[in-house]
Amino acid sequence: MTDFPPEKKSKAQVFASRLFSTLLLWAIVTVVFVSGNVWAFVGLMMLASLLGVKEFFGMTRDGGMPSQPKWGLLLSGVYLAVIGWMLGQHGRDSLDSLMQVDAGFVILAVMGGFLWQLRRAVDGKNTVTEVAITVLGFVYVAVMFSYIARLLFVPDLDLAVPGAWLVIWLVAVTKFTDMGAYAVGSMIGKHKMIPHISPGKTWQGLAGGIGFALLAGCGLFALLPEALAVLGSWPMVILLSLILAALAVVGDLAESVLKRSIGVKDSGSTLPGIGGILDLIDSLCFTAPALYFLLKLFPA
């Protein structure tokens, strides 16, 4: 029996799939945003994080990279449940305590990873690789993306979800960087930026991404100065937009490094036309913790 290769989708079909996924995502975000319910915000972000962890271990498995997916998922699920409960229950008052939770779970990830290996004989380098990849998946996705939920409680506003607009601002700057880089790079991109990692990225695209990030960051701040007062002054908004744009590109390239290392194209197929959840949140895993610590270190 002859196996026929899967039919390649046309550009129109890819665009339609991407449009459907985009509209569905924005519909979910809009419903959560309008609800003003802190548990809805935290729950959505923790669910996205857990799905991202699941895709990470699925991707490493498909690429033949040894890991401990059961331990990694269990650890991530418990960690995200603890983080979500503390934020939902205590809000801003829990932020400092969460740093101790992070440290404790990272230590548990390492200790548990080695303990997990005691079930069988040492298998050369694979034994240590399993532990390393498992800890990487936990920290890279579960821990780093959890900072987007913490940003909900950074502004000192008398609201159920004081940082809702701050998270929207972060997502807008991050994703406008992606869109600007893609749009400008597709139209006038000529000079390859880092071809050994991502052949499609160009210096012209990077400039476009930075321009779009500034447009999103400054535009939203001009429209919502009170809701985004935590960002401080105009110079700070511009500086933060530039930093986040750079980190958005690095975050995207980080997943490209991972994919190229293990030989896979997409992290998953959860979102038609886009790929997996991890493809969606990869840059946010870098920009969310950066914005959180910058705002904590340099309060307005």
Query: What's the pLDDT tens digit per position in 240-291?
Result: 999 999 999 999 889 888 888 888 776 666 666 667 888 889 999 999 999 9
Q: Please, which contacts does 243-246 make with residues 24 or more away whose CB atoms are closer than 8 Å?
A: 243/290, 243/294, 244/170, 244/173, 244/174, 244/177, 244/213, 244/217, 244/287, 244/290, 244/291, 245/173, 245/177, 245/209, 245/210, 245/213, 245/214, 246/210
Instruction: Report how many domains make up the chain.
Output: 1
Instruction: Quote the CA–CA distance of 173 and 238 in Å, as a whole number.
Output: 11
Query: What's the pLDDT tens digit per position in 26-77?
Result: 788 888 888 889 999 999 999 999 999 999 999 998 888 899 999 999 999 9
Query: What's the pLDDT tens digit per position in 175-191?
Result: 999 888 888 887 887 77
Residue 146 φ/ψ, nearest 5 degrees = -65, -20
- Residue 51 forms part of a structural domain: yes
Instruction: Quote the CA–CA distance of 138 and 176 in Å, as a whole number.
Output: 27
- Residue 10 forms part of a structural domain: no
CB distance 67 to 130 below 8 Å: yes
Q: What angle do the packed helices 164-188 and 203-223 form, to 10 degrees?
A: 150
Q: Look up the domain containing 179 and give its range.
A: 17-29+36-297
Q: Which two tokens stand for residue 104?
A: 């404790």
- Residue 11 forms part of a structural domain: no
- Residue 261 forms part of a structural domain: yes
Nearest to 205 by CA among 219, 188, 218: 188
Residue 261 φ/ψ, nearest 5 degrees = -65, -35
Nearest to 272 by CA among 23, 43, 4: 23
- Residue 158 forms part of a structural domain: yes
Say what the pLDDT of residue 110 is. Answer: 97
- Residue 160 forms part of a structural domain: yes
- Residue 6 forms part of a structural domain: no
Beta bridge pairs of residue 194: 198
Report the first-to-last Cα separation within the chain, whole angstroms: 68
- Residue 5 forms part of a structural domain: no
